[in-house]
Amino acid sequence: MHKDQLLLLLLLLLPRSFSIAIENNQCTTSCGEVANISFPFRLKGDPTVCGDPNYELACINNRTVLDLYSGKYYVRSIDYTNYTIWVADVGLQKGDCSSLPLRSLSCHSFWLHPNSYECGDYTFYGRELSKTVSIVNCSKAVASQFYIDTLSCLDGVKFSNFSSTRRRLYAMVDANVSYVETACTIELMAMIPGWVDGDDLRSYAQIHEQMVYGFELSWLPIVAEMHCKHRYWDIIGKHQIRCGPKSKNF
Ligand SMILES: *[C@@H]1O[C@H](CO)[C@@H](O)[C@H](O)[C@H]1NC(C)=O
Ligand SMILES: *[C@@H]1O[C@H](CO)[C@@H](O)[C@H](O)[C@H]1NC(C)=O
Ligand SMILES: *[C@@H]1O[C@H](CO)[C@@H](O)[C@H](O)[C@H]1NC(C)=O
Ligand SMILES: *[C@@H]1O[C@H](CO)[C@@H](O)[C@H](O)[C@H]1NC(C)=O
Ligand SMILES: *[C@@H]1O[C@H](CO)[C@@H](O)[C@H](O)[C@H]1NC(C)=O
Ligand SMILES: *[C@@H]1O[C@H](CO)[C@@H](O)[C@H](O)[C@H]1NC(C)=O
């Protein structure tokens, strides 16, 4: 490959370029537990200069909320050194394992409908950002360590009519779709932190705890976009992206 076609970059050097809007004191910088809201994020209602329109958050009842694919997620924290935002579905309630996410979400949603966030990427971070939990609906009991019974939590609660039809609901962590029994269909997907070891999750209550805890998304797309000045870019390794030679306008 040609030397000047490639630019190897250490993204951790980048945050300096984002101070543009931060000094504008018309920008709301905190909402509830999120004490550091700054570029590229901005709160709804703040001047446009405060952030990028693709990274708008809302402050509702003293909680920071991210709208994503018609779902709503509480923002737990934002990390500006590794470009990650920590979120959890608003439907999930701590201590109530019958509470479910309002919306099904997995990294597939991000791949099918690319948006302003990266999901589950491990090349850049050297580890997965999130794992997927699939809630499957099976027409028979499945005896397998990969199928974790949800009985004490989900039995007849939110999924109506399930007990009456003798179907059973299980949770699977990072399910390989080709392993899902033909007797089962995936009803709902949710995300948990990438650093959780699926083998440590023995009960649905434990899985639920991780769902409540939430998952990380990364806003690398805009960081790379700005750094590469609207050329194409690639993630090529831990904390490294590569800017392509071509402008996106062609
Ligand atoms: C908003 O949330 C913060 C942090 O959780 C808390 O310290 C503050 O008292 C809350 N304010 C109101 C008006 O509830
Ligand atoms: C908030 O983030 C900005 C941008 O990275 C940083 O300059 C600032 O020190 C952070 N402030 C706090 C309180 O973490
Ligand atoms: C980002 O930083 C936060 C706090 O420093 C840390 O908890 C989190 O694991 C980091 N995420 C990644 C992907 O490195
Ligand atoms: C499980 O699948 C059956 C058959 O497709 C369906 O009738 C039922 O509503 C599903 N149950 C849940 C809880 O989704
Ligand atoms: C449960 O099943 C019955 C009969 O199969 C149906 O009439 C009823 O609407 C179902 N309830 C819900 C909440 O889906
Ligand atoms: C999923 O399972 C199939 C069949 O066993 C296997 O060939 C494939 O490599 C697995 N995929 C992943 C991502 O583990």
* pTM to 2 decimal places: 0.80
Neighbours of 227 (CB within 10 A): 18
Structure confidence at residue 248 (pLDDT)? 64
Nearest C-alpha to atom 1 of ligand 2 is from which residue? 36
Task: Answer whether 27's CB lies under 8 Å from 41's CB.
Answer: no
Q: What is the pLDDT of residues 153-183, one digit of tens each?
A: 887 544 544 454 556 889 999 987 777 888 8
Nearest C-alpha to atom 2 of ligand 5 is from which residue? 161
Mean pLDDT of the chain: 84
Tokens in use for 85? Answer: 């935002």
Per-residue confidence band for 102, with pLDDT thresholds at 50, 70 and 90: very high
Q: What is the pLDDT of residues 30-39, one digit of tens each?
A: 999 999 999 9
| Cα(164) to centroid(ligand 5), Å | 10
The angle formed by the CA atoms of residues 175, 179 and 184, to the nearest 5 degrees, is: 85
Tokens in use for 191? Answer: 């995300």
113 vs 116: CA distance, rounded Å: 10
> 1-15, 62-76, 98-112, 217-231: which has the highest mean pLDDT?
62-76
Nearest C-alpha to atom 3 of ligand 6 is from which residue? 178
Q: What is the pLDDT of residues 181-236, one digit of tens each?
A: 888 999 999 999 999 998 899 999 999 999 999 999 999 988 888 889 878 888 88
- Each domain of the chain, given as residue ranges in start order, spans 1-91, 102-218
CA-based end-to-end distance of the chain? 21
Task: Identify which of 184, 171, 88 has the alpha carbon closest to the alpha carbon of residue 140.
Answer: 184
Between 235 and 104, the higher pLDDT residue: 104
- Proximal ligand: closest to the CA of 132: 6
Task: Answer whether 118's CB lies under 8 Å from 110's CB.
Answer: yes
Average pLDDT rounded to a whole number, residues 135-152: 88
| Cα(85) to centroid(ligand 2), Å | 14
